[in-house]
Chains A and B, each alone.
Chain A
Amino acid sequence: MLQAGKIAAVGGSIRGPKGAVEIDGSGMHVTPGIIDEHTHIAASRSINESSQECTAEVRIGDVIDCTDIDIYRQLSGGVTTAQILHGSANPIGGQSALIKLRWGYSPEEMKFEGAPGFIKFALGENVKQANRSNAGIRYPQSRMGVEQVYENYFTEARAYGEALGKGLPVRRDLELETLWEILQGKRFITCHSYQQGEINMLMKLADRFGFRVNTFTHILEGYKVADKMAAHGAGGSSFADWWVYKFEVIEAIPHNGAIMHEQGVTVAFNSDDAEMARRLNQEAAKAVLFGGVAEEEALKFVTLNPAKLLHVDDRVGSLKVGKDADVVLWTDHPLSVYARAKQTYVDGICFYDLDADVQKREAVQAERHAIIQKMLKEQQGGARTQPAKGQGSRHYHCDTEDDEG
């Protein structure tokens, strides 16, 4: 039972209060809303601030694009919460934004209220700019340099924080202030990572500075260092079976998630991709396929575990009384490839409905047709015209039959 935006009761024979809307779920499954720990949708003219090795001062929360159609598409895949991360161009990237997919609301209204702050870190090829044509002089150029960036900035941030603490006059520096929050345990790191050596490096560095690396994301070699991650207290947010897109991921294996899970690491599967995010339930199912993770545990890879990694498991991630009414009604077993989201609720509000979607598509067609006819009349009346060029890119699929924007 969902009431006033919260889960009011869970059970077999509960009765709603008078006036409650009854939704017949016969033959269907209900799960918590899916949480995508790593995505880059819904950001405007920004993902990377790639100009400097440390850009802790930039905030994805400043540039949320609430009109990105991917928000709606992902609701159709049962996603209700997503962490929009800065890209991986620099060792210390920008601050992340955690949003609820409240399609139709404004950027500020989409933000997950009260969620703790996160920041993106990155290791490997991208940050040392091995793959950039104009890498030139920007530091760092090697994996060794990456470590020195952290060493340098955290040393500076510690001095900054200590000066603040002593009440000394300091120039407020939003970059150092953000890093100081990490040192104080008030902000958490999601770190783009592939290779074991660097993963160990960052954990050791964190130990030296007295903080914890909250989440390693991608972490395709996590299976090699899972015990160390568990000891450090780092979570792993990975892909089920996405690899071989560059050399440094060559040692990825599909059992990675299962192995980290066995070793006691909190494991999530994320999308990092606007398309994959529509079917994260199927990604979770792959943990059953590769490594034999129990079905309920596998589902947690895309629900409760990412909620834990994001420190919002008191609010979302499971169907528990008092938690936010972020709920998905599936047409089938949620780990089945046949399952489709019938309805997706965020805070008890239905933001996606499979049947209503059909009607909306028809309405879009009707409106397009009406405006096009009006345009044609103006054109016939001698109005100036411009070539019909589309805007931006669209996602196409091999089964695309009708792809109206």
Chain B
Amino acid sequence: MKKKNLLQRTIIIVVVTLVGIYIVIGPRHRPSLRDFTWSGIKANLAANINLGLDLKGGSHLVLRVKTDEFLKSLTEGNASAIQATTKDAGLPVKEVKAETAGGNYRIIVEATDPSKLGEIEEGVKKKVDLSEWSMSTSGNTVTWTLTATAQRALAEQATEQAKKIIESRLDAVGVAEPLVQRHGSQSSHQILVQMPGIQDPERVKQLLKAESKLELVHVVSPPSPQPAQTYATEEEAKASLGGTVPQNRRILPYAERNEPTAAGQTPDNQNPTQKKWVVVESPAIINGSELRNASAVQGRGGSEDYQISFALKPTGADKFGAWTGANINEYMGVVLNGEVKSIAYIKGQIHDQGEISGRFTKQSADDLALTLRSGALPAPIEYQEERTVGPSLGADSIRSGVRACVFGLLFVVAFMLFYYRGAGVNAVVALVLNMILMLAGLILFQATLTLPGIAGIILTIGMAVDSNVLIFERIREELRSGKTIPSAIEQGFARAFVTIIDTHVTTIISSLFLFVFGTGPLRGFAVTLVIGLLINLFSAVYVSRTIFMWELSRKRKLESLSI
């Protein structure tokens, strides 16, 4: 055996081991004496390893943006804009319909006079941006259809916007180190939110979900001093419109002085206040996008009576001022998430201030103001997955994971030493090195260690020891067939290596599929397994071989090999 070769190998192994140990338990700050104490090592280890939420505790939420609702309201909004435009221009339009069923979004305009279709088309195009809609005419109707490409692009935009809003809300409420990212395929419109350390995610969940769609609307009613016109049932309200709701009207529920829970959601209706209905004009005078600021202020009714005061941006204030100036004594409604919160008559021109009353508690008013400031979600969201792990459960999982690892390792070490004697030491050194380097690999790639990841480590112990067993059994066989010790070792390694490569590659292939296509827990498992297997090629083959070489070089003539 060449001495130089052995020296080179030894240096490589020592350097890799030391670097590995440093990565795992070395401090990321200027080293001090404390870093050599047991507690210092433990603290450094904890700081270096990136633990998953299932081990350190926290909340994992997957939510979906209901983009179909977004497209639906977009279509309806455009339809009412078309109606308003054609009415203002005096075009001969009989009906404007919005069709939103089955993934198709259409606006159908029916003309009373088919020869005026061209005129209608021109008139609409001037006022309403329909560049993403494809147009077709037949008979006396013009149909605008939202193209599939535009659908995808708009849905994507809505998801991205929702993501931004969620980020700003998390930031505003003070969640530490949240992770917000897209989840699943692009067309699934899912967003993943991870919040370490949050134990009771209920409030945050409500906060994120709050649509906080604010609108100021004109209530259809005889002017003050007559009371505002309300209806006892939805049907009654509909009947007042002649049985069908035209495109420029909406019927909304109105629950006066209802007691909302956090973030303005309706409560679990244990004792519902009487619900009434009102007819309002559509579109709204202004909506939440014109909001400049919103804050909770205490009302007159004591500590349980908070309200939201808001201020408008200059553009909104101009619009609002003009409208209120022209509609003195008319009724105006404040609509939050499609529900009328309050109705008031207009005493005089209002420019940029307003308030939402509704007997909020301090926290619900604060939360509502926060979500109003962050902007309305473009579409409602729903939670599809929630996984919350309390810190004690996480710590418990770490304990049982580590315990399973240690016992697994002990079984294996005891057997290898008993069965292979001297060579068993090689296996043990290789195993321990594998463990250290695996943790180092996890830290280097900034991978997250999860509970299934610990299972991956335990499995790696099994696979790693398999490589040793393959090699040792082969060396034994070669020795039995009468080969000299050096050539038996050489042949044993060479022959077993082919098998080791094959077994490792197949396992890595299946793990890669898990990693690329799998979700959460499956990925955590795949990461440790792949890292462990790659390192195993180094520790079980290269390191173990070097130990044998070292043994051979120590004695001129090795009489027997302990294996």
Q: Do A and B bind each other?
A: no
B residues in contact (CB < 8 Å) with A:
none
A residues in contact (CB < 8 Å) with B:
none
